[in-house]
Amino acid sequence: MNPFTFIANNSALFGVLGVNTILAYAVYVPLSMGQFQVAQPVFCAIGGYAAGYMAIHTDLSFLPMLVIAVVLTSAVSLVFTPMLLRLSGLFLGLASFVLVGLAAAVAINLNFIGGALGLYSIPVYISSKVIWIMAVVVIAVVVVIRRSRFGLAMRVLRDDPIAAQGTGLSAFRVNVYVFGLSAAIAALAGIAQAYRFHAIGPDEFDLSVILAALTYVIVGGLNNAAGPLIGSLVIGFLTNELGFLQNWQTAFNGAFLLVVVVFFPGGLTAIPGAVRTRLRERRTTPPGSPVVLQAAGSGAPAERVS
């Protein structure tokens, strides 16, 4: 069976994979850049609800609604920044977890956006192909940013915040941009969800969603822009193919995640780099030479002690 038929037959699966990939990138951006926050489902919700609400109550076409929803979500994210970005480290992660959980609980009570059922029968349809176009755009944006001066600023801030600030970099400003970017990408995921599946409700952005996204990002690897993509595809296919495990599937997911974190801390995308480094050592290390130091698992080049 050729791949195109496969994709056509499994359109819903690819739609879900697409949404997951976009959300994974929304989680990847702050995590890989040093900001351990997981509030993305909240922005997923805001984007998705906004898009759904506009679709139901107004007559705008797809692109304007998309733009408005994303801009709205980014604006709302700015409201959270002064509150959240004063925190650092684990506390920020904890606080963002709390916000996700509480936001889902609150959304159940807000009737103008559908309460516990959410918005449904959203009269817009975008195909899985469109979702993957969105995903490709997101990936391109992330890659471009990583290579830009801003990407450099983010990495410097992550690796040595004091030195970075010593050069005049404003940690707060960089963090705000990272937060806003992650919120915008999350909004895209929410919009994709709303328009592909015609419904969005509190189930789509509770704690389990963020835990799944974290899994994709970690399994994929944080040092490579392809990480979230690989992670969500691998886990998506595994989940799909291993349906026969039924109730034990969660256990499998847990065990898989544990194995990856313990043995491949750099994620699956770090494996080629690590393999390459090992081979290179084997080729270039003359027999009998002293100990070779190697950075653990991240695929960074080995240093030789000589």
The footprint of other proteins (CB under 8 A) covers 31-32, 34-36, 83-84, 86-91, 93-95, 97-99, 101-103, 105-106, 108-109, 158, 207, 211, 214-215, 218, 222, 247-255, 257-258, 261-262, 265-266, 296-297
Long-range contacts of 151-159 (CB under 8 A, 24+ apart): 154/33, 154/34, 154/178, 155/33, 157/33, 157/34, 158/33, 158/34, 159/34
Which helix (H) or strand (E) is 101 found in, with range?
helix 89-109
Q: At what angle do helices 128-147 and 149-159 cross, to 10 degrees?
A: 70
Minimum CB distance to other proteins, residue 151 (Å): 15
Minimum CB distance to other proteins, residue 298 (Å): 8
- What Cα–Cα distance (Å) separates residue 275 from each residue in 217, 290, 297? 21, 21, 10
Q: Which is nearer to other proteins, 65 or 214 (CB)?
A: 214
Q: Which is nearer to other proteins, 36 or 177 (CB)?
A: 36
> 85 in helix, strand or coil?
coil
C-alpha 53 chain-centroid distance = 24
Q: Which is nearer to other proteins, 145 or 214 (CB)?
A: 214
Structure tokens at 136: 């490709």
Minimum CB distance to other proteins, residue 6 (Å): 29
Minimum CB distance to other proteins, residue 107 (Å): 10
User: Which has the closest alpha carbon to 126: 55, 62, 44?
Assistant: 62
Q: Which is nearer to other proteins, 10 or 88 (CB)?
A: 88
Q: Which is nearer to other proteins, 133 or 258 (CB)?
A: 258
Minimum CB distance to other proteins, residue 104 (Å): 9
